[in-house]
Structures are given as structure tokens and as C-alpha cells.
Structure 1
Amino acid sequence: MNYATHYDVGDRKRDDGINEDSVAVSVFEQGHREGFLGYERDSASADDGDDGDEGDESGDATDRTATGDGAGNRSAAVVTLADGAGGHDAGDAASYIATTAVCERLAGTAVSAARSDPAGFGVAVEDSLPPTPRAGDIESAVAEAIVAAHREVLEYAAESGQQAHATVVAGVVVGGRLHYGWVGDSRAYLVNAARDEILPLTTDHAVVQRLREADQIDDVEALVHPRSNEITRAVGGSGREDPETATVDVETATVPLYREDVVLVTSDGLVDAQTEAAKLYEWYVEAGRDDEMAAVIRDRAVTDEEIRDAVLSARSLDAAAEGLVDLANERGGKDNLSTVLLRDGTLPATPDDPPPRAAGAEPALEDRETVLGESG
């Protein structure tokens, strides 16, 4: 499994601002029997004259294929990103506490889920191991970890007398699936090279998202809306809640992963980079929301399509992570920006007709929980 991270304070805050984002990644790698199968470039990329040294360090985002079926090695990972809410006293502390607390709690979940399935190594120890957890079990563990982080941030806020809020995205990658949860407007995406697509995995807990869902603004307005900095859900708070019992509503989901997928987790500084957003919004409304002005906004804002292209065109995950930060800063660098990119080249190839995986899609058939229906 390959991953890369990159984080930046943002051009507008470079002189006197602080970075309130935080990331944490924990990777579990296991090899047995056959040894590490590794990766190799396919025949098309092997002739491009690039020796690929840098790609060997970070994992190539687009052109690596597994040399086998992955039976000799496997990976599990925990990925966490938090964005401290700007304008509050201790957003940086909130994001630090959130990422470390979530990662600490979920690392054991990831390892336990991986070791509960020894069949791939041909080791007959199933009877002495706990059963393989269901998707719903791991989603619940993600939600519980975020709630635990929420309580830790509240405890810090109460002890310090400061307000401390942060958004959180957290995921467990194990067994060819991503089990994830989120609070706030930091985002997770899947970028798939085989299908040349980007799929949003999260929907923002934010005012602009509510306005879009209510059809009060269109997709172009959402790119530059003046209220883009207002979230409707976060971990932490003022410390007035009881840290022992406080909770937060965590949205969760599970999606299958394939060899050509890159998991991208990012703070909102990537898509909310435009420093002239308020002016562009005003021009768009005054122009009657016409196509010409819409094109201007799409050209100046950072769109999902540009994010996809930046990831797929990068020679490595490191280059993709750095390129996304550069893209946001070129468009204004309005806010702090953090990215985490992860890819597992030992997974099966993307099928011709993969299940729907974007936010709001029905879960894959194998991930649906059995429920008791009404008798009729």
C-alpha cells in the first residue's frame, strides 16, 4: 500500500497565519509464505524512458499493476484528517487532538480486521481468531472513534477555557474496502484511472450544501458562495457540554476499492481556494447566471474535474499531493490545505461495471446488513 501527504498554510496566511489542519496515517503491512509480490510498471509505461525512482518511493498514481494476486502480502491502514475551525481560539489544538485520538483508536481495529482473515496466506488458524468484522461493525468503530475524539476536544476546551472545533474525515482501509466516516466539510474522494473518474464519497455538513440540496443555489454558485466557510457540524465546541456524555452525529459508509483507485482525503482549502469568491458570486448573480460567467467561475475555482486530472496526470502519489496544494495556491490559497492520497496496487482490477460508490449510492450487495422486515 502506498500513501502520500502534503500540507500547507495557504498563500494568503503564509506571513501571519497558522496551519490548523492535521493529518494522521497508520499503515499495517504483512507478508507471509511467498514474500512481497511488489509492483511493476506495465509495458506501456516501461518504455517511457522514466526510471521511476521517485515513483518507487511513493507509489505511482496511475500506471502501476500488481505482479500477482496479492496472496503474499496485504495491507491495512487508518487515515484521518481534521481541519480546525478558523476564527475560534484553538482550532489547531482541536485538529491535533482529533487526528491523533481517532488514529490511536482505529489502528487496532484495522489490524484486528486484517489478521482475522488468514486464508490468503494458507494458514489454518481461523478457530483461534475473532470472526471477520462486518462492514457495519467497522463503520461503527469509525463513528465511535470520532465521538471519542469529540469528547477529548470538549475536555480540552473546558480545561483551557477556549473554543475548539474541527472537521474530521476518518477511514479504515482493509480487505479491499474503505470504511469511513466524517463530520463537517473536509472531504473524501475516489479517483479511478481505469474509468477516468472522480467520485465524491462525502457530502459537506455545511450551509452551502444545505442550500444546494434545497435548490436555492446551483452548482456554480456553490463554488464561490459567500457562506462557504460555514459548517453545520463539527467535533468539539465551547466546553460547556459534558465531555463524558457528549456526542456528535457521524455519517458513515463503506465502498469497495480496486487497483486503479486513489483514495483522496482533503480539507476544504482545496476546493475553497478562490480569494475573489464573493466578487465572482456577485458577478454571476448579476449576469443572470449565464453560461459565459459560469465558465469564468469554473476556470478560476478548483473543480472536481481538475482534482481528478491533477491526480491522474501525476507521476506519483507524492507528486499528486504536492500538485493539489500548488493548484489551490495558484487559485488564491485562501485557507490551510491538507491532502492524503492512498492506493493499494495489490487489489483486483476495476470491473467493467463496478457498483455505485459515490456519496448517497446504495451500498454494495455484500455490504448490506441483514435486517428484520415486517411480516405480511
Structure 2
Amino acid sequence: MTTFRAGAASDVGQIRSNNQDSKLVVESTSVFAVADGMGGHQGGEVASAIAVETLEAVITEPTVDTLVEAVKEANRRIFARAADDDELRGMGTTLVAIALVNQEADEEEVAWVNVGDSRVYLLRDDELNQLSQDHSLVEDLRRGGQLSEEEAAVHPQRNILTRALGIDEAVQVDTDSVMPFVGDRFLLCSDGLFNEVERPVIIDVLRSVEDPDAAAAELVRLANEGGGRDNITCVVVDVTDDGGRAVRAREAAAAAAASAAAARAEAGEDPTLPPLGDGEGPDGAAPTTATVETPATQGDPAVADGDPTPPAGLPAAPPPVTEPDPDAATAPAAGDDVTEAFAAPVVAGASGATYPDADDAPDSSTDPDDLPFGRTTEDVFADLDSAGGRHWVLTALGAVVVLALVLGGAYLAGSWYAGRTYFLTAQDGEVQIYRGQPGGFLVFDPSLEEASGVAIEDLTADERAEVEAEPEFDSLQDARTQVNTLQTSAEQRADEEEAPTTTTTEAPTTTTRPGASTTTSPTTTTEGP
């Protein structure tokens, strides 16, 4: 049975006026999470709180599917809440969580999920591994080789997300799982930690501070010391018991190594050396590779005489040529002039029979009532002129239909192309999201998708220039994410301008910084409004 011990800490930071992060520590069901809200003073708090509350309520059985479905349900609830309240419109949150799940009988694993740029780390054998992958513009550029690790760490747009909860009705959730062993330590955190504290320092704290609460509190303290420009939240989870899994794994590895060494010794090899094929061969030579002979591929079997079916993939033989019967009545006699025999014209009679000459056809008069298709004469060429007229009309009608289809297809294609992108623009003194191509495309003008409420005058000169350049986005979610980033930056500047100052006088004074660091005990904790 796998058991955990967890601790957590959260702080508003040095700049923000409110804490939009939320955390979840539920040891009874082994579910732990961190959410980093965004979208206005109140929206971020509401979104992150909905996320962790939904996880706590929905996860009732330990499976990966349940964990993923809980995240998707949180996304739906946040999206619906924002649609019902204009003041919360555009709110969203990141979410990273871990939970103990049963993948197979008697095999417990720790599953993790991630949406956004909050992170989950695993410290194992003093090595820190990042399990999650950031959903951000800068991380996409780094993975694509367009930015180095150092450039990504200081890039001014590193807070622009490409995925978050609550932005759209559906969301893609990253997930995976690892086998937990005694001594493993998981760290879940918002970007307020790793943007302020360097990785080696995080590793040192996780290695040296044994108590999870104390470790989380120390990481928050260091983030504030490094600038505290964002909310900071950490959840530290230790694996305290794995049901003997680690011992069994070590014993199995030792047994496998001993068995391999014995086999090499029996084969006359030095058991202290790695087996051939694993790196270098004897005396440092290149490893040898066994060669296996394979029989040549056989051709298709011959087809038995009289079998009309050829082997697969071969064409069927042409039918045999039948020699003409010299006694047949249609064959010309030897010495006859073949040209004369077949040169006489063939004229169709009313009965459908053919005759070498029209004069040889029987004289028949057919009642007009007996003629097919309403004909008045048995002369098949009598209505040739009117038939030609009908042919012209049908041709013209077909051309009109084809032209209409082509124009309709062109219109639909143009409409799709014109409306497949979104862009930001400055209209009526605020940032607005338009759908279409900036400046329009052919006859298709862009249309207003939604007004953001972000005032142009609250933006910096660079941000105004960026909006006035009408940047384009592939989806409405990407455009909303950029608007949220602009709004968050504007609010952060406003908070900095409104931040109280402390003056020093001769009399002793006590200054209390709002949002002091708080810690939580390893009991069920949910932060949010």
C-alpha cells in the first residue's frame, strides 16, 4: 500500500494585491493539485478555486480516466461560470495535479495531469525531473529550437499560454504516470516559484529539508526573496511507503545481474565485463553482431495446365481466338470479292431488321398510334432539328448549374479562409478581438468577435504598438489568452502604482506586508474565494 506525507505553502508575493493561486491537499484520497488563475482581480481566484474544488468532488475512484475527466469537468464549469457572469468573462486557470491510481491489479502508480504552465517535478535519487510540459508560447519556441534554455528563461513573453482551463468549451489534457517508490518526492508549483528560484536552488531545498511543510515554506520564502513578482504556491508530496515495491525492485535487479554474470562466466567470458553487444567488445573492439542466414524468397508456383486463374498480381490471359467456321452462311465463299460483299449500305427498317438495300426492305405502313415515344412518323431523322434545339438548351442549363456550383464553392472557400483566423485591434479605446483577415479578404470583411474591456490607455507603448499591428491567431482561445496577458500586465502595473509605501520615523513602527506567507498542515485544504 502506497502512502504519502504532504505539505503546502502559498503566498501573494511582493507585487500582486490578491492571491489567484489555489492548492489542493487531500491525503485521504491521495489527490494533490496546484492551480494558477488569470483574468482580472476576481476572475483568476474564482477559476482556480473551481478547478481544485471540482477535482476534490469528482475524483471518487483511483483511475487515470477519472482524473482526466475531472480536469475536463473543471474546464466545463469554469467556462459556464464565465459565460453567466460578465465580470468573470475570459477567466481561466492552469492546473497540475497528481493522484494515486490503480493501473492494474495490485499495481499502484502516481498519475499526473497538466494544462498550462504550472509544473510537476519528481525528485528521485537526488535527481530532479520535470514530468509535465509547459503549454506556453516560449516553451513551444524552445522545443522547436528557436530559443535556447537561457533565452526562454528571460523571454518577455514567457507568460503567454497556449492552453488553459476555462478558455474554451473543450480542453486537451496532458497525462502520464510513474511507479512510486519510497523516498520519491513530488513538487507541484505555480510559475511564481520557478520564475524566481533557479533550478539548482530548488533541488538543494528538496534534498535538504525533510519536512514537506518546511520545504514548501522555504521555497516560497526564496521566491519572495528573488522578487516575488507573482503569486507563489508549492505542494510537496513524499512517498513514505510503497508496500515493499522498492525492495522487490532492487532484489529483482540484483538477481537479474547475478544471473547474467553467471551466464557469462559459464560461457567463458569475464563476468566483471559487460556482455558483448553492450558497448565495446573484447579488448575495446567494436561490438560484434550476430548474422542470421535467411532462405531466398521463392517465386510464385507454376500454374497447373488448364487452370484459368493466374497467380495473384498477374494479369489474366486474353481469351483464345476462335477461327471462323468456313461453312457458316455469313462467311464469303472462296474467291468472292470481300469488298463487294460488305460494301452495301445497311438501312434500318421499322421492325429492326437490316437489309443490304433500302429497296429490299418490306413495304410496311405503321399506325402512328403504335409508334413509340409519341412519334408521328417512323422516319428516325424527322425530328433531328428539334432534337438539336433541345440539346442546346440542356447544354446551356448544364453550364449554368456548373457555374453556380463553381461560384458557390469559391464563395464558401473564401468565407472559410477569411474567417479561419482572429486578430487583435484597437477600437473605441479598447482592445477588441475580430474574426477574419485584417483589412478584409476580397468581399469578406472582418467581424467583431468580442470586446475585451482592456483600455488602450492602460497599455505600455510596446503593448499598444503590438495591438495596433493587429497580430493574428489561429484560434479564439489563443486570442483570448493574449488579451488575458495584456490585462494581467495592466493590472500588475496598477497594483505597483497603488502599492503602499512605508516611511521610517523615530518612533518604532510595525509594518505588516499584505499576503504574508501561509502554510497548511497535511489535511484537506482548498484555497479560493
The bucket for the TM-score relative to the shorter chain is: 0.5 to 0.7
Name which of 101, 120, 139 aligns with 1:209.
139
Instruction: Find 2:32's aligned residue among 79, 85, 110.
Output: 79
What letter is aligned with 1:144?
E
Aligned to 1:313: 208
Summarize deviations over 1:313-342 as a string: whole Å, max 9, x none. 113111100011011111111100111111
What secondary structure, in the 3-state scheme, does the structure 2 residue paired with 1:90 have?
Answer: helix
Report how many aligned residue pairs link the two structures: 240
- State the 1:27 CA deviation: 1.8
**1:224 and 2:154 matched:** yes
Cα distance in structure 2, aligned partners of 1:89 and 1:9: 14
Over 3 Å off, 4+ runs? 86-89, 348-355
Checking the alignment, whether the CA contact within 8 Å between 1:23 and 1:338 is kept in structure 2 is yes
Match of residue 262, structure 1, among 167, 170, 185 = 185
1:170 is matched with which residue: 97, 100, 103? 97
Q: Distance in 1 between matches of 2:250 and 2:44?
A: 44
Q: Does the aligned pair in 2 maintain the 1:9–1:18 contact within 8 Å?
A: yes
Aligned pair 1:157/2:160, yes or no? no
User: Using a 3 Å threshold, how does the CA distance of structure 1 residues 220 and 98 change in structure 2: closer, same or farther?
Assistant: same
- The normalised TM-score by structure 2 is 0.43
Q: Does 1:97 align with 2:50?
A: yes
Structure-1 separation of matches of 2:231 and 2:252: 34
* Residue identity opposite 2:165 in structure 1: V
Verify the 8 A CA contact 1:88 1:164 in the aligned structure 2: no
Equivalent AA in structure 2 for residue 190 of structure 1: L
Cα displacement (A) at 1:86? 5.1
Q: Distance in 1 between matches of 2:81 and 2:97?
A: 21
1:330 and 2:222 aligned: no
Counterparts of 1:1-376 in structure 2 under 5 Å? Answer: 1-13=4-16, 17-28=17-28, 76-85=29-38, 87=40, 90-106=43-59, 108-110=60-62, 138-161=63-86, 162=88, 163-174=90-101, 176-192=108-124, 195-237=125-167, 246-273=169-196, 302-347=197-242, 348-349=245-246
Question: Distance in 2 between the 1:336 and 1:311 partners?
Answer: 20
After superposition, give the CA deviation of every residue in 1:240-259 in whole Å (9 maximum; x if it has no partner): x6xxxx21000110111111
**What is the rounded CA distance, in whole Å, between the counterparts of 1:139 and 1:210 in structure 2?**
26
Alignment partner, residue 489 of structure 2 = none
Letter in 1 for 2:65: S
Cα distance in 2 for partners of 1:145, 1:304 equals: 31
1:205 and 1:231 in contact (8 A); partners too = yes
The structural deviation recorded for 1:214 is 1.2
Change (3 A) 1:337 1:157: same
What do the CA deviations read for 1:339-375 (whole angstroms, capped 9, x no partner)?
11111211243856999xxxxxxxxxxxxxxxxxxxx
What is the distance in 2 between the residues matched to 1:96 and 1:327?
A: 25
- Structure showing greater relative contact order (alpha-carbon pairs closer than 8 Å, 6 or more residues apart): 1
Deviations 1:252-297 (A, max 9, x none): 1011111111111101110123xxxxxxxxxxxxxxxxxxxxxxxx
Residue 311 of structure 2: aligned partner: none
- Asked if the contact 2:18/2:41 (under 8 Å) is kept, the reply is no
Q: Which runs of 5+ in 2 are unaligned?
A: 102-106, 254-529
SS of 2:135 mapped into structure 1: coil
Instruction: Give the 3-state SS of the residue equivalent to 1:229 in structure 2.
Output: coil
CA contact (8 A) 1:183 1:250 kept: yes
Q: Distance in 1 between matches of 2:83 and 2:10?
A: 29
* Distance of 1:233 and 1:165 partners within structure 2: 10
